[in-house]
Amino acid sequence: MKTSHFNPPAVILAAGRGNRLLPLTKDRPKCLLTIGGKTILQHQVQALLLAGVDQIQVVTGHGAELVREVCNGIATYAHNADYDQTNSFDSLACTNFTIGPEGLLILNSDVLFHPQLLANLLADPRENVLLADFREDLGEEEMKIIVDSNQRIIEISKSIDPSLAQAENLGVLKLGEKAARRMLALGAERDHDSSIRWVPDGIHYLRHEFEFYTLPVSGIPWTEIDYPHDLAAANEIIYPQLHEALWERR
């Protein structure tokens, strides 16, 4: 499943507390909740390694020491000391990767996905691409997307009217070198727009400077884990569809 070209380093944003999953996340971040006997974080790291991505950095916050134990020897770390007062955009700004011509992969740590999705994303020749689930049953909670006829992102926000949105953002994004550098620079600016709280807000802010595109999941299984019922569905429905591709490949 490795792609034929060189791959960007990956940042996994794992600083959040996961309050909507309490009490399961009282003593650990939600990326360390288990699905199929392994943590969400382990599943993500395995998908990255299968795709040939061997530079992985995890941005920690809540339960940082536990996260380091899980990824010992596999990843490097950055830390968002203000994790309880900030969101994913500020966690991204904490990364200390030097951005090269490969660009950067960015993953939210609460997403379980089939490794083929990551392989498809890396094989996409476009520079700035995020995975998106195109469907009609979008609600208020999803990070929603509006695209043009070329799948270029016109708007991305939770506040989009669901009746106008076309897709949900998965939280798995590939940036080219210039967009990655600009995104990190924006995060480092202390006077940046206060409305930029999440990584998709950064995309929305920069969408007139760079073209960002969607790559449809096209029915390949994935899920985001925000609530206890999401965790149950991940174990019972989603994981059985992808465990072989993740853990039993030869």
Cis amide leading into 162 (omega within 30): no
Rg (C-alpha) for the chain, rounded Å, is 17
Q: Measure the CA angle with vertex 242, ends 14 and 58; round to 5°.
A: 15
Answer yes or no: are the C-beta atoms of 83 and 25 closer than 8 Å.
no
Q: Distance (Å, rounded) from C-alpha 129 to C-alpha 233?
A: 27
pLDDT of residue 4: 41
Look up residue 122 and give its amino acid.
Answer: L
How many angstroms separate the CA atoms of 203 and 195, rounded? Answer: 12
Distance of alpha carbon 26 from alpha carbon 196, whole angstroms: 27
Low-confidence ranges of the chain (pLDDT < 70): 1-6, 190-194, 249-250
Domains of the chain, by residue range, sit at 10-247
Cα–Cα distance for residue pair 10/107, rounded to 1 Å: 7
Cβ contact 58:14 at 8 Å: yes
Beta bridge pairs of residue 243: none
Q: Is the dihedral of CA 136, 139, 143, 146 positive or negative?
A: positive
Reported CATH class of domain 10-247: alpha beta
- Contacts of 132-137 spanning 24+ positions with Cβ under 8 A: 132/167, 132/168, 132/169, 132/170, 132/214, 132/215, 132/216, 132/217, 133/167, 133/168, 133/170, 133/216, 133/217, 133/222, 134/166, 134/167, 134/214, 134/216, 134/217, 135/167, 135/168
| Confidence at residue 97, expressed as pLDDT on a 0 to 100 scale | 87
Give per-residue pLDDT as tens, 183-234: 999 877 755 556 788 899 999 999 999 999 999 999 999 999 999 999 999 9
Q: What's the CA gap between 32 and 42, in Å, rounded? A: 8
